Amino acid sequence: MDSVTLVVIAGAVMAGFVQGLSGFAFGLVAMSVWAWTLDPRLAAAMAVFGALTGQIVAAVMVRRRVEFSLLLPFLAGGLAGIPLGVWLLPAMNVDLFKAVLGTLLVLWCPAMLMADRLPRIVRGGRIGDVVAGMLGGVMGGLGGFSGTLPTLWCTLRGFDKHAQRTVIQNFNLATLSVTMAVYLSTGLVTREMLPMFAIVAPSMLIPSLLGARLYIGISEAAFRKLVLSLLTASGVALLASSLPKLLA
């Protein structure tokens, strides 16, 4: 087994478990491993494929009643943002994008973790839901990062554990399905990538199931801390993979 295959498996295993537990972050976790050695377009396609596979597993394992009144604003924004993300992918400086996003997560999420009570946004919520969904769609088109900013926004809005999981799980499932369809139709997914997809799917399956099982027994407070800790760790990983390239 060569080193590239080992890197792909390691990224898929870690990302699968995190996504099964939290409902998002496959792309961020996987890219923090894959970005060091894989071509950015290949890594992006694999991240979208792996995240979509994990969301399908989560939809079976963690079934929640869909609250369409909460979901639809996110979904409308997300579907509008996907084409922009796909269009930007070939031309965008991915390292600069990751550095900006990583800085935002590293600065904001620890502050929320250390706060006695999380700030709750009560005004302009629906408009914010659409904007968060659109930004999630753009990031999904760029490489499967669709759940990061919507998850942060749900936390700021004060959604409880189950409401947040329902919104993010269904939002990710829909946006990642559309993103993968766009990738296939525009040729961003090539035949040469299929063997890598065949490695990602089985590598992430059992970790995703374990993560989903663990989610069921986690408390509300622990879940909130977990989400913010994962977002912070994702920011650190994004900075670690992007800053050396930008400085060079």
Tens digit of each residue's pLDDT (9 = 90 or more) over 15-38: 888 888 777 778 878 877 787 778
Spatial distance between the Cα atoms of 147 and 203, rounded to a whole number of angstroms: 21
What pLDDT score was predicted for residue 130?
Answer: 93
CA distances from 5 to 25, 40, 67, 69, 166 (A): 21, 16, 40, 43, 33
pTM (2 d.p.): 0.76
Query: Among residues 170, 190, 147, 216, which one has the least CA distance to residue 70?
Result: 170
pLDDT of res. 124? 66
Q: Looking at 7-16, 28-37, 113-122, 216-225, which range is the least confident one?
A: 113-122
For the cut 80, the answer to whether the pLDDT of residue 201 exceeds it is yes
**CB half-sphere exposure, 127, CA atoms < 13 A:** 3
Whether the per-residue pLDDT at 213 is higher than 60: the answer is yes
Q: Per-residue pLDDT for 170 more than 80?
A: yes
Secondary structure string (H, E, C) spanning 59-120: HHHCCCCCCHHHHHHHHHHHHHHHHHHHHHCCCCCHHHHHHHHHHHHHHHHHHHHHCCCCCC
pLDDT for 117: 62
pLDDT at 116 over 70: no
In contact, 48 and 180? CB cutoff 8 Å: yes
φ and ψ at residue 63, rounded to 5 degrees? -85, 130
Reply yes or no on whether the pLDDT at 99 is more than 80: yes
Tens-digit pLDDT profile for residues 219-239? 767 777 877 787 788 788 778
Give the three-class secondary structure for 24. Answer: coil
Helical residues (DSSP H) of the chain, grouped into ranges: 3-22, 26-34, 40-61, 68-88, 94-114, 125-143, 148-157, 161-186, 194-216, 220-247
* pLDDT of 197 over the 90 cut: yes
Q: What is the pLDDT of residue 76?
A: 93
| pLDDT tens for each residue of 41-70 | 888 889 889 989 888 877 776 665 667 788
* pLDDT above 90 coverage of the chain, percent: 15
